[in-house]
Structure 1
Amino acid sequence: MRIVRHLFASSKRHFPPATLDAIQHAIAASEHRHHGEIVFAAEGSLSPRDVARGRTARERAHEVFANLRVWNTEHNTGVLLYLLLADHAIEIVADRGVAKEIPEAEWLPICALMKDYFRRGDYEHGAIEGVAAVGELLARHFPANGERNADELPDRPVLL
């Protein structure tokens, strides 16, 4: 059954250009409040080969984290919000600077919040609320304190 879902899933259907614009603006606004870098990536499906091998969304999220260079910020404060639509999976991967301050358990309510929106078909608001919630955690642990965030990673969401 999983392979069938992966054959027909698409991220473009749920994330048209206007939605990508809204998410990009949410990321940019959030990053004015903290010294973190948020990257949003959505993927419709995995390759049939990856599905057959049992590749998980978490494994793929770590690969995307590396490929998009989310780890490559000066203070190791990158955070990836990764969606694998065919599996209805949301993964948050934080760089080591963030992971030292924010326990993994604090990301779980954000994933649940986003899933609630996505279940209703509201991908735009689910993504924006997820970005906002990640931003709140980053602002609490890495506040901007009036300093400018260097914006080391692109704010534009990535569709894989």
Structure 2
Amino acid sequence: MAWGRWFRHGFADEADVRRVLDAAAMARLEQRVRESEARHSGEIRLCIEAGLPWAWLRRGVRERALAVFAELGVWDTEANNGVLIYLLLADHAIEIVADRGLMHHVPAGHWEQVLGAMRQAFQAGGFEQGLAGAIDEVDRLLVRHFPLAEGERNPNELPDAPVVR
């Protein structure tokens, strides 16, 4: 493993996250998730991780995103329609993990398009815009496949606030 990667992860912390997403941006992202979840029965979680724990440095980012998906209980929704949007700053890596209820409706290539749009926004320094765009796309998919019936409310099975690690 490259020493540069060890160094990046070893010195990454929550201050790195705050540099790209301040408290106001985090509050806007949380509000965007809350507003989205008022339109469908799905659950959206954001996780921004500055760097990996040492034990994870020899594993892939997708594997880490799957572990976070499980740790945050995104898999444990009534309709199996939770979605994790995961950003690993130290590696400039992003992943989207959707539970099986939504995965049956969305081709894998579609997620690559969403990730591509996020990458473009991030490369331009627009971390909030990239995450907001991903939330909006996940919202469109969940509204299409898991809409709320007239007068129905999403029980909000998971917190809306982004998780910072």
Q: Give 5+ residue unaligned stretches, structure 2.
A: none
1:67 Cα deviation from its structure 2 partner: 0.6
1:75 aligns with 79
- Asked if 1:34 is matched to 2:34, the reply is no
Q: Give 5+ residue unaligned stretches, structure 1.
A: none
Give the TM-score of the pair, scaled to structure 2.
Answer: 0.89
In structure 1, which of residues 94, 100, 105 is the aligned counterpart of residue 104 of structure 2? 100
Give the TM-score of the pair, scaled to structure 1.
Answer: 0.92
Which residue identity does 1:33 align to in structure 2? R
In structure 2, which of residues 140, 143, 152 is the aligned counterpart of residue 139 of structure 1? 143
CA contact (8 A) 1:42 1:159 kept: yes
2:8 aligns with 5
1:115 Cα deviation from its structure 2 partner: 1.1
Find the residue that maps to 2:157 and give its secondary structure. Answer: coil
In structure 2, which of residues 142, 153, 160 is the aligned counterpart of residue 148 of structure 1? 153
CA contact (8 A) 2:56 2:64 kept: no
Aligned equivalents of 1:120, 1:93: Cα separation in 2: 24
Which residue identity does 1:50 align to in structure 2? W
CA contact (8 A) 1:71 1:78 kept: yes
1:104 Cα deviation from its structure 2 partner: 2.2
Which residue identity does 2:64 align to in structure 1? R
Which residue identity does 2:146 align to in structure 1? F
Find the residue that maps to 2:18 and give its secondary structure. Answer: coil
Q: Which moved more, 1:119-128 or 1:5-14?
A: 5-14
1:94 Cα deviation from its structure 2 partner: 0.9
Aligned equivalents of 1:29, 1:107: Cα separation in 2: 22
Find the residue that maps to 2:47 and give its secondary structure. Answer: strand
Aligned equivalents of 1:135, 1:97: Cα separation in 2: 14
- Asked if 1:58 is matched to 2:62, the reply is yes
Q: Which moved more, 1:10-19 or 1:59-68?
A: 10-19
1:90 aligns with 94
RMSD: 1.4
Aligned equivalents of 1:57, 1:65: Cα separation in 2: 12
In structure 2, which of residues 17, 20, 31 is the aligned counterpart of residue 25 of structure 1? 31
In structure 1, which of residues 101, 114, 118 is the aligned counterpart of residue 118 of structure 2? 114
Q: Which runs of 4+ in 1 moved over 6 A?
A: none
Identity value in percent:
46
